[in-house]
Amino acid sequence: MTEVIARAEPTGTPAVITERGERAVFCGLTSIIWLHRRIQDAFFLVVGSRTCAHLLQSAAGVMIFAEPRFATAILGERDLAGMADCNEELDRVVSELLARRPDVRRLFLVGSCPSEVIKLDLANAAARLQRVHDNRLRISAFSGSGIETTFTQGEDQCLASMVPDLPTAQDSSLRLMVVGTLADIVEEQFRRHFAQLGITEVDFFPAARADDLPTVGPGTRILLAQPYLSDTVAALRKRGGKLISALYPLGIQGTLAWFQAAAAEWGCSAETVQEALAIPIARAQKALSRVRSSLEGKTLQFLPDSQLEIPLARFLSEECGMSLVEVATPFIDQSLMAEELARLAEDVRLVEGADLDSALARVRANRPDLTVCGMGIANPLEAEGLRTKWSIELVFTPIQGFDQVADLAGLFSRPLVRERQLEVGSWS
Amino acid sequence: MELALWTYEGPPHVGAIRIAASMRDVHLVLHAPQGDTYADLLFTMIERENRRPPVTWTTFQARDLGSSTAEMVINTLEGVCERYSPQVLLVAESCTGELLQDQPGALAKGANLSAPVIPIEMAAYTHKENWGASETFYQLVRGLLAARALKPGETKAPRAADQPPSVNLIGPTKLGFRCRDDVVEVQKLLEQMGVRVNVVAPLDATPRDLLRIPDADANVNLAPEVGDLTCDWLKRQFQQPIISTVPMGWGATRDFIAEVSETLGLDIDVESVGDSRLPWYSRSVDSTYLTNKRVFIFADGTHAIAAARIARDEMGFEVVGLGTYSRERARDVRALAKEYGLEALITDDYLAVERAVEALQPELVLGTQMERHIAKRLGLPCAVISTPAHVQDYPARYSPQMGFEGCNVLFDTWVHPLIMGLEEHLLTMFRDDFEFNDTAAPSHLGGEGGGAHQPDTVASIEEAAETDEPGAIAWAVSAEKELRKIPFFVRGKARRNTEHFAIENGLSLIDVETLYEAKAHYSR
């Protein structure tokens, strides 16, 4: 079942081992859970099956007490039989929904596995519905299906679908666009840091309000806050934006390099950035040093899941002293990962794709001190005496930037601290 | 097309996973796209299972469509047989798998696999989780036992004189509500009666155990949502009578004992089998305050039906709303609701349930995790009595719902969210006391105390909303002041009732008189 193709990279980065087999990952619909927290006047309507609705509520932990700003239009037998009716039904559901939620400023129709297999054209449906509700809100479509997207790629599809709506910049003066969902608190910190560097022409995409769309043009410099946004970057480049190649803002080194790469475009030297940000850097170092001791020298294996694996591996090995047993990620975009890959040791076992059973067999053989994996796998591994960190927390928790460095390290140290602390029972 | 915010049941293949996850030495292969594997976490996170459910997924992606998905099915099946050597291999599809029409069941049958194959047709676009569980268990039992069915004219051999009477417990599953503890409790009850439990299935059973099902004298249909179909088939094929009383609540437990005795021809005095504290606790004076507390019940069919009887007859509550999301049980719930003078609420639309709760303003909500949300939002006390449930309803402690211990557990669970009788009086007496006032949470509610203040929040939000509307109702300062004197835990209701009364009577200003007119109008 496994197909292993090793190829040597000329650049001295680790060889990529490709695996194919059973994949234990969420689909892109899961992105809706953090996207709807970020874009506070958007509604996400999945056109799919009961499985989609069930996934969303299971992944969201059935813990949101307000009426959620996402829902599923569940396809029934009758919708499958006649496509014309299916479109009429969708129009009816959307009208019902909008009548209920007058506060919604943007509606996303989100494609799913079943809607794609039956070739229901949601882009077309969105255009049709836009004409009906034109003066009220913006309607567009993207795919979060498992056959097209893996977990965080849902956000990539969502943002890419918004790019055509971005207004064109009036001139080509420099403007920074930070792309990828960040927590409000992180956005505020980053704005302050950019201001300290004298960069005030900064937009965050997506913004907290759906109508706050940044302009795009030849003066736009794209700085990625998240590493999984390949299609969004391609769409922004088509509109004239230029990508700033950088590490991702995870860890002190990653965050510093990220600001330095952006500031360079504004003619600011690396040293200047380091000086300007000396206070938050020192604070982060102090906070991290307290957590670092529990991580240092511990072995770590990543199962493929969030696409954050490579930058996290860089942070945990470089700054926390962990030893990487294996880094697996659902897929690698060589251009967006270039800077990160160059920081990984050449002998790190780097896997693209997945074959669950063989990956688990390697975890059992390696017995790493910590395994980063999906939620469904964590408890079974714990029951086998292995410490785990479930990766969905990494996309729900503010982890980017200097002031979150210790929190990020803390996510990984907590299971290890707990192991030392508990005087009851045994994991091994 | 149906608009769903939250859903009470998952898709049917999740029901199939529940059966596989409940059993041993069974493996399920699901033809499904990447992403459907989220279902693992229902078991490993919500129920804290220490093993992955025995399910392997083909996890096809777009690049596999049209060319190699059928091949993936075969490869997966072969890999599973090699790795797990299951006694039985179940084969099914998720909703997307079904659209591909690869027919994995037929592929498996023709693949010459080392394990016997039982294919399950899910019909994902018409059915739901409990149906999927019921169908999977039925197909599995039928697949294993059809060849051994009694021939026409043949009768079941009578039990040997030296053998104790025996039953099977049919229906309990993983992710069922307290199934783990209910099985233990019912086994204890049967043991008291001298009845042997032959097989419990699907929970912890192997396919070999299922082959022994016909050895028992009767089947206890312990979870009808899952067991109905199988019990009926066993009755037809093996002449095993069905014991259909679900022993939940004091009266139902006694009825169960009576039905077991009658079915098995035993001479057992119901009084001698056991008892619970519930009858006495309900009769003790502190429980007087429970009298006619207005209760709203919404659950799966089995738990809704049981809860209604317990609420009215054993707790002395008034049932003001009764409903279920189990369409299969709609008829039973409708009939029961009629008996209670109610119209049953049969829906899987969480918003419809919310509207009903909002309109009825019950004093206690007994429901699922969804009703817990609703109640929390409306500031109403709530206890969870049925799936879907969250991780806190898979407790570490022994906490059955059935049998006599189940009665004790239910009494505590339902009373706990309420303000206790004596405390209710004290709150009224000392409502202006500096350390025992509106903002101090009731002592026994601990961290949950905040919930008791929510009626006010809700009311003030509503108020704000209403001031925007033409014809809004205003509160005179004196009436507002009087309202503050009403204990906080009923204040929200008083405010609502008064406003409702004012609207109905075409009043635009609420004064003290209106407040008391409304009180008189709504008092029972």
pLDDT of B269 strictly over 50: yes
- Distance in angstroms (rounded) separating the CA atoms of residues B260 and B274: 15
- Given B10, B51, B57, which is nearest A383 (Cβ)? B51
Average pLDDT, chain B: 89
- Given A61, A72, A148, which is nearest B4 (Cβ)? A72
Among B298, B11, B374, B3, which Cα is nearest to A46's? B3
pLDDT of B22 strictly over 80: yes
pLDDT of A6 strictly over 70: no
The residues in B 124-163 lying below 8 A from A, measured between CB atoms, are 124-126, 128
> A51, B94: Cβ pair inside 8 Å?
yes
- Distance in angstroms (rounded) separating the CA atoms of residues B285 and B367: 27
Average pLDDT over residues A288-298: 96
Partners of residue B7 in chain A, C-beta under 8 Å: 50, 53-54, 57, 72
pLDDT of B462 strictly over 60: no
The contacts of residue B474 (CB under 8 Å, 6+ apart) are B508, B509, B510
Which of A191-200, A375-384, B174-183, B417-426 comes out lowest in average pLDDT? B417-426
Helix (H) or strand (E) holding A176: strand A175-179
Confidence of residue B296 (pLDDT cuts 50, 70, 90): very high
**Number of C-alpha atoms within 13 angstroms, CB side, residue B426?**
11
Q: What is the pLDDT of residue B5?
A: 85
Residue of chain B whose alpha carbon sits nearest to that of A60: B6
Confidence of residue B358 (pLDDT cuts 50, 70, 90): very high
- Distance in angstroms (rounded) separating the CA atoms of residues B452 and B434: 18
- Superfamily (CATH H level) for B12-129: Nitrogenase molybdenum iron protein domain (3.40.50.1980)
Q: What is the pLDDT of residue A360?
A: 96
Average pLDDT over residues B489-514: 86
pLDDT of B450 strictly over 60: no
Confidence of residue A400 (pLDDT cuts 50, 70, 90): very high
Q: Please indicate if any CB of chain A lies within 8 Å of the CB of B40.
A: yes
> B62, A383: Cβ pair inside 8 Å?
no
Q: What is the pLDDT of residue A122?
A: 96
The domain limits of chain B are 12-129, 166-272, 278-418, 449-522
- Given A50, A58, A80, which is nearest B128 (Cβ)? A50
Report the share of chain A in percent with pLDDT over 90: 85
Q: Please indicate if any CB of chain A lies within 8 Å of the CB of B465.
A: no
pLDDT tens digits for range A231-278:
999 999 999 999 999 999 999 999 999 999 999 999 999 999 999 999
Q: Which of B25, B228, B286, B468 is catalytic?
A: B286
Q: What is the pLDDT of residue B160?
A: 85
Q: Please indicate if any CB of chain B lies within 8 Å of the CB of A74.
A: yes
Q: Please indicate if any CB of chain A lies within 8 Å of the CB of B31.
A: no
> B4, A71: Cβ pair inside 8 Å?
yes
pLDDT of B488 strictly over 80: no
pLDDT of B451 strictly over 50: no
Q: What is the pLDDT of residue A124?
A: 95
Rounded to 5 degrees, what angle do the CA atoms A276, A282, A283 make? 110
SS3 assignment, position A325? strand
Q: What is the pLDDT of residue B471?
A: 59
- Given A53, A66, A77, which is nearest B4 (Cβ)? A53
Rounded to the nearest 10 degrees, how much is the dihedral formed by the CA atoms of A377, A381, A383, A388? -90
Q: What is the pLDDT of residue B368?
A: 96
Average pLDDT over residues A14-20: 94
Partners of residue B101 in chain A, C-beta under 8 Å: none
For CA atoms A147, A153, A155, A159, the dihedral sign is negative
Confidence of residue B423 (pLDDT cuts 50, 70, 90): low
pLDDT of B459 strictly over 90: no
Partners of residue A383 in chain B, C-beta under 8 Å: 50-51
Residue B476: is it exposed, middle or buried by C-beta count within 10 angstroms (0-12/13-18/19+)?
A: middle
Phi and psi at residue B184, in whole multiples of 5°? -60, -45
> B59, A23: Cβ pair inside 8 Å?
yes
Q: Please indicate if any CB of chain A lies within 8 Å of the CB of B438.
A: no
CATH numbers and ranges of domains, chain A: 5-23+284-421 (3.40.50.1980), 28-149 (3.40.50.1980), 175-279 (3.40.50.1980)
Confidence of residue B295 (pLDDT cuts 50, 70, 90): very high
Q: What is the pLDDT of residue A2?
A: 45
Q: What is the pLDDT of residue B446?
A: 46
Average pLDDT over residues B171-180: 97
Residue A61 or B134, more confident: B134
Among B108, B115, B121, which Cα is nearest to B84's? B115
pLDDT of B441 strictly over 80: no
pLDDT of B517 strictly over 90: no
Which of A22, A306, A352 to mutate: most B Cβ within 10 Å?
A22
Q: Please indicate if any CB of chain B lies within 8 Å of the CB of A88.
A: no
Among A147, A132, A134, which Cα is nearest to A48's? A147
Average pLDDT over residues B410-426: 79
| A388-390 and A370-373 beta bridge pairing | parallel
- Distance in angstroms (rounded) separating the CA atoms of residues A39 and A43: 9
Residue A111 or B427, more confident: A111
pLDDT of B467 strictly over 50: no
pLDDT of B379 strictly over 90: no
pLDDT tens digits for range B140-151:
999 999 999 999
**pTM here?**
0.90
pLDDT tens digits for range A341-356:
999 999 999 999 999 9
Which of B228-242, B469-483, B497-511 comes out lowest in average pLDDT? B469-483
Partners of residue B9 in chain A, C-beta under 8 Å: 50
- Distance in angstroms (rounded) separating the CA atoms of residues A174 and A221: 7
Confidence of residue B424 (pLDDT cuts 50, 70, 90): low
Report the share of chain B in percent with pLDDT over 90: 71
Task: Tell me if the domain spanning B166-272 has CATH number 3.30.930.10.
Answer: no
pLDDT of B436 strictly over 70: no
- Superfamily (CATH H level) for B278-418: Nitrogenase molybdenum iron protein domain (3.40.50.1980)
- Distance in angstroms (rounded) separating the CA atoms of residues A271 and A264: 11
pLDDT of A363 strictly over 90: yes
> A22, B5: Cβ pair inside 8 Å?
no
Average pLDDT, chain A: 93
B449-522 architecture in CATH?
Orthogonal Bundle (1.10)
For the question of residue B511 being annotated catalytic, the response is no
Residue of chain B whose alpha carbon sits nearest to that of A377: B52
Comparing B12-129 with B278-418, is the CATH topology the same? Answer: yes
Partners of residue A147 in chain B, C-beta under 8 Å: 33-34, 60-62, 65, 96
Q: What is the pLDDT of residue A23?
A: 93
pLDDT of B431 strictly over 70: no
Among B322, B122, B270, B40, which Cα is nearest to A305's? B40
Closest approach of A143 to chain B, Cα-based (Å) = 12
Total Cβ atoms within 10 A of residue B522: 15
Among B384, B46, B61, B376, which Cα is nearest to A59's? B46
Closest approach of B60 to chain A, Cα-based (Å) = 7
Q: What is the pLDDT of residue B440?
A: 53
Strand order in the sheet with B318-324: B345-346, B318-324, B294-299, B364-367, B382-384
